Homo-oligomer: A and B are copies of this chain.
Amino acid sequence: MSMSEKEFLQNYNARDYDAPLMSVDMAIFSVLAGRLQVLLIQRANFPRKGEWALPGGFINLVSDQTLLATAHRKLFEKTGIASPYLEQVATIGNATRDPRGWSVTALYFALIDFKAFQQQESQLLEHCEWIDVEKARVMPLAFDHHELLEAAIERLINKTRYTALPVSLLPALFTLTELQHIYEIILGQSLDKKAFRRRMIEAGAVIETGQSKVVGKRPAQLYRFNAASFDFTFPRSLELPKTQNENVSP
């Protein structure tokens, strides 16, 4: 007896098969007080109630049209931000990461300007807090969120070496000194001012606006990101800091 695809689909019910749990987790980064911060929540529900974790949740099969839409929804629920930089980092799945059963999570990372962040009233039941990344990476976190956080940090650092990604941590207009500071915070290394400015300007990653802003003494030019180069990559990576005293001779 042969069957058509239509007949097959009429008889098919996804609930007849076991499927893993499928969630989305978010590593939301921002810079505050000269430090890279990540948004963590304190879980309000079982499992791992009370423990710190990356924000996340399940796909709403009715209202979410895509996995990316789920990530956008989660981010908006937590931060009130609708147009952040958002990128998938990795998808981790195994039988042991969640006590409820075989579980898969898609990890996204987001970069936001801290000033655009707004605590969402609808989320007050779940305590959420910006935590210094260096502190977060040594805190005990629920599930395998320590590994997820490390993967997101590694991606951020890597892309900072060869893209203009960190502009997404600043408002639309910024000075090159501000941008350089963000790079230095992420990379944990100081950068040469001239080389940094030359790289950004000559590659066309940022555009002078003609406006200026007074922060300290002399007013500084305001730049904006060149949207035309959103997935631009520099031809070379920023060099690693010279590690002194490697293989010191006695």
Q: Which residues of A contact B (CB under 8 A)?
A: 3, 5, 8-9, 12, 14-15, 17-22, 46-49, 58-59, 61, 64-67, 70, 88, 90-96, 99-102, 104, 106, 233, 235-237, 239
Query: How many whole Å from A202's CB to the nearest CB in chain B?
Result: 16
Cβ contact of A94, chosen from B18, B65, B88, B102, cutoff 8 A: B65
Pairwise interchain contact A237-B235, C-beta atoms closer than 8 A: yes
How far is A21 from B15 in the complex, measured between Cα atoms in Å?
9
Interface of A is mostly: loop
In the A-B complex, the 10 residue pairs with the closest CB atoms: A67-B93, A8-B46, A91-B91, A66-B94, A19-B19, A61-B102, A14-B101, A236-B236, A91-B106, A18-B61
Inter-chain contacts of A46 with B (CB < 8 A): 3, 5, 8-9
How far is A64 from B94 in the complex, measured between Cα atoms in Å?
8
Chosen A-B contacts, 9 in total, with CB atoms closer than 8 Å, are: A5-B48, A19-B20, A20-B22, A59-B93, A65-B95, A65-B96, A66-B94, A67-B94, A70-B93
